[in-house]
Amino acid sequence: MTDLPEPVLDRRRLLIQMSAGAAALGLPFLSAPALAQAAGGSGPVKIGTILPRQGPFAQQGEATTLGVKVALDQAHNQVLGRPIQLVAYDEPNPLGAQQNMQKLIDEDHVVAVIGGSNSATGLAIAAVAATAKTPTLISAALAREITGKNCNRYVFRNNAPPPVYAKLLARQLLPIGKRWYFLVGAYAYGQEAYQMLKGELVAAGGEDLGMDAAAVGTTDFSSIILKIRQAKPDVVVLGISGTDLAAFLKQYNEFGLRGKIPLASLTVADEELWAQTGASGIMGKYWHFNNPANSPQEKEFNDAVMKATGHPASASCAQGWVCMRMLLAAIEQEKSTEPAAIVHGLETVRPPGVPGYFRDWDHQFITRLVVAQVRDTVTDKYDPVRILNAGMTPADFETLYGNKQEIGCTMGGL
C-alpha cells in the first residue's frame, strides 16, 4: 500500500492517543467511522461500494450495484430505523480502488464497504480494510489469499476461491477425457485457476497438453485457437474472465470448434453469456436465477430485477444482493454500526432466504454454487444453460470449501 498522506497519519495518531486515553480510564472507544456515525445520532448510515464502471468488468459492476440497490429497496432504505446513504466509487484498477477505499474511510466515514470485482482490486481493497479496521465484504474476487494467508477479522469474501470451483468442474470434465489444454489469464485469477485445475487433472492421472496466458484486454485469440485445434485436446479449460472470456467464446465459435472440442470455464458471469450467440461449454457459476434450490426470498429478488430491467438477475447481481442483505442483517442483529459489532454480526447472522453464511474462522461465504452447461439449442438468451449439479446438498458443498489446515487462515483479534 502506498504511504498515507500526513493529514491521514495525524488523524490516525490522534485516534490512537484517544483510544489509549479511553482505555486508561476504563471507557469504551469507537473507531473513526463509528464516531462519525454516533455523532450523527439519527442521521444516515453510510455504506460504501467500490465497483467497476469501466474496463472489462464494467457490466458486472453495474449488475452488482443493481443487486445492492434491490436489497436496499427491500429494506426500505433503512437500518436501525435510520436512513441509509450509499456512497459509490469506481474500481478502475488496484491503485484506484485502494485510493477510493481510503477516501470512503477517511472522508465519507462509511461503516462498511462492499466491492472487489476481481482478485487484483479485491486484494487491494482488503489490505486497506484490514489496516483501517473497516468491515468489508469482497463481492466477487476469487484470490485464495483473501480468506487464506491474508485473512483478517474485518474482511469477508462472498465468492468462492478457485479450489472450490476446480473441484466442482473436474467432476464434470474428467469423464469427458483426461487430455486438457489450458487458456488462462496472465493475472492472479488465471494463474490460480491453472494451478487448481491442473492439480485436479494430475491427481486423476490426466495429461496437460499445454497452457497459454492472455493479458487483460486481449481481443484476438486466433493464434491460440489454432494451437488448440492442432493439439486436439479432450477439453479446453479456461481461466479468463470479463470481456476476455466473451471475446474468446465468440471467436471459438467463428473458428467452427463449437461442439467439436468441448469447452469449460472455471467461472462465468451471465453478462458474458448474454452478450453473444454461439457460446458453448461447462462452467462454474456463483448463482443462477432458476435454480430449483432457490429460496422464496431469492425468487422475490429475481422478480424485482425482472421488473426493473426486463431480464432475470445475473450472478453478479446476486452477489451485490447477498452482500447487502448480510450486512444489513448483521447491523440489525447487533443493533450497532460499530465496526467490531458488525464483524461479530457477519460471523453469526443467518438471514432468512440468503443462500449461505460466513464461516467465522476465515470469513469465507459458504454457499451452493452452480455447474452449468450451455444448451445445444438456446431459445432464450437469458437462460442459455442447464444446471448439472442440482442434486448436491448443503453438506456436499461445505466439504468442498476446505478445513483450517488446508486454508491456512490465522485470524487476528478485533
- The predicted structure's pLDDT at residue 28: 40
What digits encode the pLDDT tens for the residues 148-179? 999 999 999 999 999 999 999 999 999 999 99
pLDDT band at residue 243 under the 50/70/90 scheme: confident
Helix (H, G, I), strand (E, B) or coil at 272: helix
Nearest by Cα to 115 from 89, 148, 80 = 89
Domains and CATH numbers, the chain: 31-160+297-367 (3.40.50.2300), 163-285+369-400 (3.40.50.2300)
Decide which of 284 and 19 is more confident.
284
Predicted confidence band of residue 13 (pLDDT cuts 50, 70, 90): very low
What digits encode the pLDDT tens for the residues 254-313?
A: 999 988 999 999 999 999 889 877 788 999 999 999 999 999 999 999 999 999 999 999
Residues 87-128 have pLDDT tens digits of 999 999 999 999 999 999 999 999 999 999 999 999 999 999
The string of pLDDT tens digits covering residues 364-380 is 999 999 999 999 899 99
pTM: 0.87
C-alpha closest to that of 57 among 99, 88, 93: 93
Query: Span 120-140, mean pLDDT?
Result: 97
Residue-averaged pLDDT of the chain: 90
Q: Please state, in angstroms and rounded to a whole number, the distance separating the CA atoms of residues 99 and 128.
A: 9
How many residues are present in the chain?
414
How far apart (Å, rounded) are the C-alpha atoms in residues 258 and 373?
13
Select the highest-mean-pLDDT range: 11-25, 184-198, 275-289, 309-323. 309-323
SS3 141: coil
Q: Give the pLDDT mean for 348-356.
A: 97
Confidence of residue 198 (pLDDT cuts 50, 70, 90): very high
Q: Is the pLDDT of residue 9 over 80?
A: no
Return left, alpha or beta for 217; rule: phi > 0 is left, psi -120 to 50 is alpha, else beta.
Answer: left
Beta-strand (E) ranges in 161-311?
179-185, 207-214, 235-239, 263-265, 282-285
* pLDDT-above-90 percentage for the chain: 80
Residues 6+ apart with CB under 8 A from 154: 129, 130, 132, 133, 134, 135, 136, 339, 343
Give residue 41's pLDDT band: very low, low, confident or very high (50, 70, 90): low
| Reported confidence tier of residue 40, pLDDT bands at 50, 70, 90 | very low
Q: What is the pLDDT of residue 24?
A: 41
19 pLDDT above the threshold of 50: no
- Quick one: how far is CA 134 from the chain centroid? 18
Q: What is the pLDDT of residue 241?
A: 85
